[in-house]
Chain A
Amino acid sequence: MRCRYAFIAVSIALLVSIADAQTPRPDLSGVWGPYRGGRGGDPKLAAVPAGQPVLKPQYAKDFEARRAAEAAATQRGEPVATNGTLCVPYGVPTMMSVASYPVEFIQTPKQITIVTEAFGEVRRIYMDKPQQKIDDVPPGYYGRSVGRWEGDTLIVDTVGIKEAVQYQRIPHSDQMRITERIRLAAPNVLHDQITIEDPVVLEKPITYTLAYSRMPDYEMVEFVCDNNREYVDANGVVRMRTRGK
């Protein structure tokens, strides 16, 4: 009897895995720009912004105070610098949505590469490879990403993002983990649902969904930041250098 159950269980597992392997993998290759849900687009396919982040109490107070100070500085016309101001790359996950700049997916069975137009950032997603322990990944802008297909959805796991690389200036620890569920929501609409978990800093995960439209004939524009006239003064305020006096 037990033997029969085991046989059935193994058969089902086998069938599921065969079915999964036979699910045609969508081809994500190509250039994708932000989906304009509000302008004649389908609101059901539009991006879903993150709600207010909920930080652990010991981080929340500082975070709220800093946000208020930054908002006040912007109100005064003295915005505080961000990494981008100094042409420092955005890293994961911010690089996936920078203003209206597109991103390009290059898909092969073993690796999916994402190249952004803004700052020409590159991230590599290694397919069907085990993830390393967080503590073994040197902290950087892109960390280490591994991917696998779950039916028609690409699941990407990223660890090893350095603490200075923040999403919307929300602090995080070296224990942060980012999970993305990337799928075609429609033939020419791509969704990337991003979940940020951090057991040290976040009380609950941050989740948001980016939506992209396919840009079939678009040729990516180069973006080398060699004429940055914005600088940060002694008070941390962004200024623009002018050539006249």
Chain B
Amino acid sequence: MRTSTGWRISAATVFLMTLWLGSGTLVAHHSFAMFDTAKPISLTGTVTAFEWTNPHAYIEIDVSEPGGGMKHWSIEMGSPSILQQSGWKFRDLKFGDKVTVSLSPLRNGDPGGLLIQATLPDGRVLGNGPGRGPATPTRGAAPAANK
């Protein structure tokens, strides 16, 4: 089931993300300007793949469309090195898991985006690496209503 922007990220999160994304002295794999950080969305779906790879890890999920049918989303994460700093492990998601993710969607409308945080089947809420989205539920106002 897809839920749209039913929650807001806290000011602290926006601030942290701005710090990270806007820091001119940092070099990253690529700019994140293709993602719309001002319009986060929340999706609940079924994991088809969790790719623990470089330069980014990905969560692939199938999400039911409101009018029936299924839409497939690709969700970009940090790299494994960055992710492990916010508690992720390579086995944290597997095929068939139900997951709720919040993300900054691609501006061009393609079904993809940059992860803000994920609520795992065991209830843990993990962010997208230090400074990249909330690492704790309290900071990010996790979309608990979807559970």
Decide yes or no whether A26 CB sits under 8 A from chain B. Answer: no
A221 touches B84 (CB 8 A): yes
Decide yes or no whether B27 CB sits under 8 A from chain A. Answer: yes
Contact with A238, one of B30, B36, B74, B84 (Cβ below 8 angstroms): B30
Decide yes or no whether B81 CB sits under 8 A from chain A. Answer: yes
Chain B residues, Cβ within 8 Å of A80: 31
A78 CB, nearest partner CB in chain B, Å? 7
Residue of A nearest to B131 (CB): A100
B66 CB, nearest partner CB in chain A, Å? 16
B54 touches A238 (CB 8 A): no
Bitwise interface map of B from 103 to 121 toward A, beta carbon under 8 Å scored 1, else 0: 0001110111000000000
A79 touches B74 (CB 8 A): no
Chain B residues, Cβ within 8 Å of A49: 25
Bitwise interface map of A from 208 to 244 toward B, beta carbon under 8 Å scored 1, else 0: 0000000000000111111111100000001111111
A78 to B36, CA, bound (A): 11
B55 touches A228 (CB 8 A): yes
Please list 21 pairs of residues, one from A and one from B, whose beta carbons are closer than 8 Å in the complex, sorted by A's number.
A77-B33, A77-B36, A79-B31, A82-B30, A84-B29, A85-B29, A87-B55, A99-B29, A99-B82, A100-B26, A117-B81, A118-B29, A168-B27, A221-B84, A223-B54, A226-B53, A227-B54, A230-B30, A239-B108, A242-B112, A243-B72
Interface residues of chain A, those whose CB is within 8 Å of chain B, are: 47, 49, 73-82, 84-85, 87, 90, 94, 97-101, 117-118, 168, 221-230, 238-245
Interface residues of chain B, those whose CB is within 8 Å of chain A, are: 25-34, 36, 51, 53-56, 58, 60, 71-74, 76, 79-82, 84-85, 106-108, 110-112, 129-131
Chain A residues, Cβ within 8 Å of B129: 100
In the complex where A223-B54, A229-B76 touch, is A79 in contact with B30 (Cβ < 8 A)? Answer: yes
In the complex where A77-B34, A78-B34, A221-B81 touch, is A244 in contact with B74 (Cβ < 8 A)? Answer: yes
Chain B residues, Cβ within 8 Å of A79: 30-34
Q: A77-B33, A100-B85, A228-B55 are in contact. List 8 more A-B contacts (CB 8 A).
A: A73-B33, A99-B27, A225-B55, A226-B54, A230-B30, A238-B31, A239-B108, A243-B72
Chain B residues, Cβ within 8 Å of A245: 72, 110-111
Main SS class of interface, A:
loop
Chain A residues, Cβ within 8 Å of B29: 84-85, 87, 99, 118, 230
Residue of B nearest to A208 (CB): B25
Chain A residues, Cβ within 8 Å of B27: 84, 90, 94, 97-99, 168
Q: Which 9 A-B pairs have the closest CB atoms?
A: A244-B72, A79-B31, A227-B53, A242-B112, A221-B81, A85-B30, A244-B111, A77-B107, A79-B33
Residue of B nearest to A220 (CB): B81
A101 to B85, CA, bound (A): 11
B80 touches A240 (CB 8 A): no
B53 CB, nearest partner CB in chain A, Å? 4
B111 touches A98 (CB 8 A): no
Contact with A229, one of B26, B58, B71 (Cβ below 8 angstroms): B58
B95 CB, nearest partner CB in chain A, Å? 14
A194 to B12, CA, bound (A): 34
Residue of A nearest to B57 (CB): A227
Chain B residues, Cβ within 8 Å of A99: 26-29, 82
A98 touches B53 (CB 8 A): no
